[in-house]
Structure 1
Amino acid sequence: MSDRDHKSLPPSVRAAQLMSWLYGGVPIALALLAVATESTALSAYAAVFLPGVILALFAFGFTRGKNLLRVAAIYCAGIAILWSLGAVAQGRPAGLLGAAASFAIVVLLNQRTTVAWFARAR
């Protein structure tokens, strides 16, 4: 990927990419902190954000991904919404943050400029 390709990302694609990376970094950071402090509560909160790791992996392909990658990321974010709401039902309010982040990613990946980016000729 050249620097020129990196700068030509539409803002909606770049925002979805950054949100996915942040959403994927949260469970990794919480898991490391849980291991360091031997806290089972932190590991339970890390599990709330687990689908974010998959979204973060998808985000690495956004710069040259095809429409199938966008659709897969949307489905993964939809599953993450359900996963997060399940955590809220179990009394983990951090699930609302995961649901909000996943919803924002779905909205960003469905914008007209994002759809055009993933459907562009290569």
Structure 2
Amino acid sequence: MEKKRKLVYVERVPIRWGDMDAYGHVNNTVYFRFMEQARVGWMATLGLNLVAPEQGPVIVTASCVFLKQLDYPGTMEVRMYAGDLGRSSLMSYYELRKEGEEGLYATGEAKIVWADQRERKSMPIPDWVREKLRD
């Protein structure tokens, strides 16, 4: 079954020398940081307060499929897609490309859940967020 996806944001992130590990390529944990940076950039475009908010998005699952070894230097283009909305959750999908090169370096997914930070439990995604995700 094809998953419905809508491109919601593109982030460009420089690859830093310190992103490499002892094997001479970008460490696998950095791919998650690239996806996080795109997610944070997208949330900023929504006008979300990401510093000590009373409510907001949290990540409950994250995965990455590593397709090609990534090396310094360069710039990553991270495309973020939103999937179908649930009551309190949204699946997000990512494509990681190196600018100036063909093909994908990685793909990823993260389940975003809207949460009441004081109660520490999920809550419905606000209507104003839903409006921004509608076609």
Higher strand share: 2
Quick check: which one's helix share is greater? Answer: 1
TM-score after normalising by structure 1: 0.32
Q: TM-score, normalised by structure 2?
A: 0.30
